[in-house]
C-alpha cells in the first residue's frame, strides 16, 4: 500500500491512543500485507509505537519482526546491515526504549553482518555476528555407581 495509507492508519489509531486487535489485523491484512516497504512506513510505525498508551499483545512481536525483515531485506547486500542503514535505524529508534532494544537484538541475531553502529546500540562487541546456531545435542549421561 502507499505511504498515505500508513499515515491514515497512524492518524486513526492515534485518535484512540491505543492499538487494538482489529487495528493490528487491518494493518497486517489491508495496509502492509507484504510488510514494511520503505523507511517512511518504518518511521511511521516506530513513531506510532511511542505515541500510543496501550497496544494489543501481538503488537511488539509484529513491529520488531516487520522491522527486522525490512532492514535485513533492504540492506546492501541483503542480510548485511551497512553503515547507512545502521545509522538510519539508530536515529529512528531514539530515544531508546524496551521496544527499540528488542528490534535491534532481533536484527543483530539474524543478520549475517552488522555495522558497528548497530552493534554499539545493541551493546554487543565489535566481533563479527554470526547467525544463531542450534546447540548440539548433549550425549546421554550414564550414571556411574
CA distance 55 to 44: 16
C-alpha cell at 73: 531485506
Tell which residue, 100, 103, 126, 123, has the closest CA to residue 114. 126
pLDDT digits (tens, 9 = 90+) for 2-56: 566 999 999 999 999 999 999 999 999 999 999 999 999 999 999 999 999 999 9
pLDDT digits (tens, 9 = 90+) for 103-114: 999 999 999 999
C-alpha cell at 37: 516497504
* pLDDT value, residue 135: 38
Tell which residue, 95, 126, 122, 100, has the closest CA to residue 109. 122
CB atoms within 10 A of CB 46: 20
Q: What are phi and psi of 35, to 5 degrees?
A: 90, -175
pLDDT mean over 67-96: 91
pLDDT mean over 95-103: 89
Give yes or no for residue 142 having a pLDDT over 80: no
* pLDDT value, residue 28: 96
Amino acid at each position: 500500500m502507499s505511504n498515505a495509507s500508513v499515515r491514515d492508519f497512524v492518524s486513526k489509531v492515534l485518535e484512540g491512543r491505543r492499538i487494538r486487535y482489529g487495528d493490528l489485523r487491518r494493518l497486517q491484512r489491508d495496509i502492509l500485507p507484504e510488510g514494511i516497504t520503505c523507511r517512511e512506513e518504518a518511521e511511521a510505525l516506530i513513531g506510532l509505537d511511542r505515541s500510543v498508551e496501550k497496544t494489543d499483545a501481538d503488537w511488539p512481536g509484529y513491529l520488531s519482526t516487520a522491522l527486522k525483515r525490512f532492514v535485513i531485506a533492504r540492506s546492501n547486500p541483503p542480510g548485511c546491515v551497512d553503515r547507512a542503514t545502521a545509522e538510519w535505524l539508530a536515529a529512528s529508534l531514539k530515544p531508546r526504549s524496551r521496544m527499540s532494544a528488542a528490534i535491534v537484538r532481533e536484527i543483530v541475531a539474524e543478520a549475517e553482518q552488522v555495522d558497528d553502529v548497530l552493534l554499539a546500540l545493541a551493546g554487543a562487541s565489535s566481533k563479527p555476528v554470526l547467525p544463531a546456531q542450534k546447540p548440539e545435542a548433549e550425549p546421554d549421561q550414564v550414571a556411574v555407581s
